[in-house]
Structure 1
Amino acid sequence: MTWLLLIGAIAAEVTGTIALRFSDGFTRLVPSLVALAGYGAAFWLLAQVLVRGMNIGVAYGVWAALGVSLVAVIGALFLGDSLTWVQACGVALVIGGVLALELGGSH
């Protein structure tokens, strides 16, 4: 259940970030509301993950790394952002670092 909440937190944060792009500096109402709701839900869900006992380094690392990676990929695939091979390698390194953090922890 904890991992499902974390996935929800990641999805909410990614949704909020993409909506932020469409908000035009908070001048468009609907994307602005989606951005605020997305970030609010993301932090609430992340707090629920921490209350259930997940290590903060793992929870925040997974949340941040997957969030930034998904936003970069979505931006490249659907929003016309560039993603060079160097940036793609950076995304892979971020994900690899989070995996190392998770796999290196004691269970």
Structure 2
Amino acid sequence: MLAGAIVTEVSATILLRQSDGLSRWLPSVLVVLGYGVSFVLLAQVLKRGLAVGVAYGIWSAVGVSLVALIGAMFLGESLTWVQVLGLVLVITGVVAVQSGTTTH
């Protein structure tokens, strides 16, 4: 479910660019639906017991990383080595947060 939340959030974010400031109706509707589905799935992950800090950390870090990579690979956006280092640090931080959690 967390993977589904990430995929739908990333899809909605990429579609934001296609929506032209939410002025094109089809991409705009897909953006709203994508974010809605993503939040519902994230809420279900939390309901099943994953800590909010861990779930949100994974969701946001993987989402940011995927959007940045998709932007660089398919949308003609730049991705500098400093930005790549930043993404590595974000992912490392999420791993550290997840590693520090205790199970009951």
Normalising by structure 2, we get a TM-score of: 0.96
Aligned residue runs from structure 1 range 1-107, under 5 A? 5-107=1-103
- State, as a whole percentage, how many aligned pairs show the same letter: 59
Q: Distance in 1 between matches of 2:43 and 2:74?
A: 30
> What amino acid is aligned across from residue 27 of structure 1 in structure 2?
S
Q: State the distance in 1 between where 2:17 and 2:90 align.
A: 23
Would you say how many aligned residue pairs link Structure 1 and Structure 2? Answer: 103
CA RMSD of aligned residues (A): 0.6
Tell me the amino acid that sits aligned with residue 13 of structure 1. Answer: E
Paired residue type of 1:41 = V
* CA displacement at 1:103 relative to structure 2: 1.3
Distance in 2, matches of 1:49 and 1:104, equals 19
User: Mind listing any 5+ residue stretches in structure 2 that lack a counterpart?
Assistant: none
Mapped to 1, the partners of 2:30 and 2:76 lie a distance apart of: 21
Task: Output the CA distance in 2 between the equivalents of 1:103 and 1:53.
Answer: 16
Matched residues in 2 for 1:43 and 1:106: separation? Answer: 25
d(CA) in 2 for partners of 1:16 and 1:80?
Answer: 18
TM-score in terms of structure 1 length: 0.94
> In structure 2, what is the Cα distance between the partners aligned to 1:104 and 1:44?
26
What is the distance in 1 between the residues matched to 2:26 and 2:93?
35
Moved over 4 A (4+): none
Q: What is the letter of the counterpart of residue 92 of structure 1?
A: V
Deviation of 1:18 (Å): 0.3
